[in-house]
Structure 1
Amino acid sequence: MSRSPVLRRTLWLGLLLPLWVGATEMYRYTNAQGVTVIDRQGVPSEFIAKGYEVLNDQGRVVRVVPPAPTPEELQKLLADRERAKSDAQLLRLYSSPEDVDRARARKLAELDGLIGVATGNLQAARLQQANLQKQAADQERAGRQVPEQLLGQIVSQRDEQVRLKQQIERHQAMRKKAESSFAADRSRIGELLGQGR
């Protein structure tokens, strides 16, 4: 004997309805007055940040949603995450404190080389300026006017000296920063590998 489609649908709904109704979740949260509330509708948006629990139809906790972190906790979490990322990168770069020492020596030698070249260029610019000024003085002693081209070269050499001094200062600052950075990296690698300093 075959059943009608309407009767079959009614039987299925009759079987599934108790399961569907039984699967309803309830939410337990604390309201503004400090009272614990259990609600089938959900947690009002103003209480979500305080955290809540999801209960099954028997009242058992099936999931806990923790409170949102405070701004201080959030800042600490972000700082911890950044530190972990930085540590992972350090461990990819260096496998021991000695690796840091070798990288430091290479970088400082590179910067010392740049400082040396700039210092040599500065000395050459000073010598060139002294020669140009001597030529200008010779012109004046001979009673002639100093050519504009010669005056322009003297100014150019002064400007070059200023540029080179700034370049040397920049390289020296980079050297100090590199020394500090490598010292911190060496210390941290030692901590991460359990080797101390």
Structure 2
Amino acid sequence: MRLKQPFILFLTGMLSATGADQAAAQSLYKYKNHEGTTVISSNMPSEFVRLGYSILDRNGRVVETIPPVMTSDQKSQLADLQSLRAEQERQTELDQELLFLYGTPDEIDGAKNRKLSEFDQKIREMQNLEVIMAKNIDDKRLQIKKAGEKAPEYLYEELDNLKDQKQTYKDRAASYNREKSLLEKQYTASAERLKKLLKQKNLKDIEVVSREQLIGQWRIREDIAMDWNLDASGSFDSFFQQLGTHASEKSFGTWQLSNNRIILLINRKQQKDAIGDEESRRVSQEKQIQVLKATDSELQLLMDGKAINLFRS
């Protein structure tokens, strides 16, 4: 029997739909319920979607991870983090330009003195012109006084023009003084910044740090959250999280101090992904961190090429 074309198309559509349903049924969903228990199911309840979940293939491999829906506080925190990162990127550009233009803070001081001298000259010129205008004003007033009631109107107009010119020179001198003051502050700040950059770059003049100064708990809360616990017995544990995310990492091991360098010997890591699943594994990793300065309350480090300040908690 010969099938008609519309019926063939109907059968093809039915088979395609059945195949799609079977493919969808092969996907599994991994999520956590309200009790915190991990659930793997062929159905994804809508009430848990906002908490984040993973999509698994039929072999149990993760093919996609859907992060949790951020709260308004988390969105605000993320916006603050992005703004902070933009500021840090801008500061990095300024630092690179500063290192390119100047080799030492003395060079900045020399450039500052030259610029300040230029402003001093401009200010003196305006002040001299102001004195000249004051003399011309006195002469014009005397001329008007001698003319008495017969003094023509244009003399008064000339007097007003002289007063306006005198005020203009006075205003320019004041403006140059403000620019000079601002420029001096900018150059001074640049010189101080260059000192810090050169210290980080060359690691010169670093005070010797003792082991006792490092023992204790330290933390930072900026674009990252990081906690350190350096124990007197030589063991350590740390916590790290990029703010605005749910993923975090804990490290465990031993530590020692050598030539102002903290040497971390990490033997175990505990990692948490975006949906809260944790994984603990054995590792063998060494990490060296330069100590720039240590006080009773603050620890300045050079970590992965970036200066970081930790504070005693």
Q: TM-score, normalised by structure 2?
A: 0.44
Q: Percent identity?
A: 17
Q: Does 1:83 align with 2:83?
A: no
Residue 83 of structure 1 aligns to which amino acid in structure 2? Q
Compare the two structures and name the one with the higher strand fraction.
2
Q: What aligned pairs does 1:5-44 form with structure 2 within 5 A after superposition? A: 21=23, 24-31=26-33, 34=36, 36-40=38-42, 44=46
Unaligned runs of 5+ in 1: 1-5
Decide which structure has the larger Cα Rg and report it: 1
- 1:57 alignment partner, SS class: coil
Q: Which has the higher contact order (CA 8 A, sep 6+)?
A: 1
**SS of structure 2 residue aligned to 1:144:** helix
Find 2:107's aligned residue among 102, 111, 120: 102
Q: 1:195 to 1:109 in 2, by over 3 A?
A: farther
Decide whether the 8 Å contact of 2:133 with 2:166 is kept in 1: no
Aligned to 1:59: 60
Q: How many residues align?
A: 183
Superposed, 1:112-123 pairs within 5 Å as 112-123=117-128
- Map Cα deviations across residues 74-117 of structure 1 (whole Å, 9 max, x no partner): 52354135314421442244148635643553255224303421
Q: In structure 1, how many angstroms separate the alpha carbons of the residues matched to 2:86 and 2:184?
A: 28
The structural deviation recorded for 1:125 is 1.8
What per-residue deviation string (whole Å, max 9, x for no partner) do you get for residues 120-144 of structure 1?
222222222223213312541x353
What is the alpha-carbon distance in structure 2 between the residues aligned to residue 43 and residue 103 of structure 1?
Answer: 64
Q: Once the 2 structures are TM-superposed, how far is the Cα of residue 47 of structure 1 from its aligned partner? A: 3.8
- Any idea what SS the aligned residue of 1:112 has? helix
User: 2: distance between equivalents of 1:97 and 1:193?
Assistant: 14
CA drift of 1:46 comes to 7.4
CA contact (8 A) 1:122 1:164 kept: no
What residue is the counterpart of 1:176 in the other structure?
A: 184
Q: Which amino acid aligns with 1:165?
A: A
Residue 158 (structure 1) shift: 3.1
Please say if residues 27 and 39 of structure 1, whose CA atoms lie closer than 8 Å, have aligned partners that are also in contact: yes
Query: Using a 3 Å threshold, how does the CA distance of structure 1 residues 136 and 114 change in structure 2: closer, same or farther?
Result: same
Q: 1:106 to 1:42 in 2, by over 3 A?
A: farther
Show the counterpart of 2:198.
Answer: 190
Alpha carbons of 1:169 and 1:45: their partners in 2 closer, same or farther (altered >3 Å)?
farther
Q: Aligned-pair distance for 1:182?
A: 0.8
> Aligned partner of 2:141: which letter?
A
> Which protein is richer in helix relative to its size?
1
AA matched with 1:27:
Y
Aligned match of 1:132: 137
Amino acid in structure 1 at the alignment position of 2:193: D
Deviation (angstroms), 1:152: 1.9
SS at the partner of 2:91? helix
Normalised by the size of structure 1, how large is the TM-score?
Answer: 0.64
